[in-house]
Amino acid sequence: MGIKNGIVEKLEKLTGLLTGKEKQNAEVRFWQKEIHKYLKWYNGEIKELYNHISPTVNKTKAYTPELSAILTFFEVHQKQKYLGDLCLERNEFSGQKVIDIGSGPFPSALCFENCDVYCLDPLFDRYIAAGFPLHCYENRARFVQAKAENVPFEDSFFDTVISANAIDHVDDFEKTAQEIKRILKSDGRFRMHVHYHSKTTTEPIELNDEIFLKNYSWVSNLKKLSESKEKLGTVLTDSSEKYVVWGN
């Protein structure tokens, strides 16, 4: 019986590893396709991308067309998107240490002024390999390659934790919540944009108010700040889906 249980346990672990690998591969494929969109948008082949007209002025010039497109899209879309999605102003976190959980290949939290920005994601090496120029932001943001279930910082290190449409990508939702609790100061700021939806390969966590509150009720003065079917450049058409912003 012990041998059988051991084999089952190993098979379950292997299945989990394979599932996690496919999730990461799907995530990288998504961002690779995005780069192609940015380039077409930058060159005027796509007239509009995520509600932004193809740029004709104020285009960032870099040493490759792809890099030029990515840097321009970051300034035009990503910064505006973070402020809008999280319902925040640029000066919200002045003088604070801010960590963005699941930042993806953009240091979008640089939209916030006069604060120390940390970006956490397990795939930074693969984003760089795909062509995202994280080196262009190294003097303004700190990139930490790690999973949200195991954040390599001491207790109560951060003044603020933010996350935008990323918390449903984690492997273990409950463990991630406890890790965020550990690294955030007891009176720290918390702001999270959450997508409620059926599970997908890259977004395997199905969330609702009950599940979220069960795991984040420890947040001081936690409130549901907004609920919507759209965000900048995206409108949800499935009646069961919605975007929710939680914060204090």
Residue 156: which region, alpha, beta or left (left: phi > 0; alpha: psi -120 to 50)? left
Summarised one tens digit per residue, pLDDT across range 18-42 is 467 888 999 999 999 999 999 999 9
Residue 68 and residue 61 in contact, taking contact as beta carbons nearer than 8 Å:
yes
Summarised one tens digit per residue, pLDDT across range 118-128 is 999 999 999 99
Residue 35 and residue 104 in contact, taking contact as beta carbons nearer than 8 Å:
no
Question: Does residue 1 surpass a pLDDT of 60?
Answer: no
Whole-number pLDDT of residue 78: 95
Question: Does residue 98 surpass a pLDDT of 80?
Answer: yes
Q: What is the mean pLDDT of the chain?
A: 92
Domains contained in the chain, number: 1
Q: What domain range is 228 assigned to? A: 2-247
CATH code for the domain in which residue 13 is found: 3.40.50.150
Summarised one tens digit per residue, pLDDT across range 160-207 is 999 999 999 999 999 999 999 999 999 999 999 999 998 877 778 889
Handedness of CA 166, 64, 38, 81 (dihedral sign): positive
Choose between 200 and 219: higher pLDDT.
219
pTM (global) more than 0.85:
yes
Residues 6+ apart with CB under 8 A from 86: 162, 164, 191, 193, 245, 247
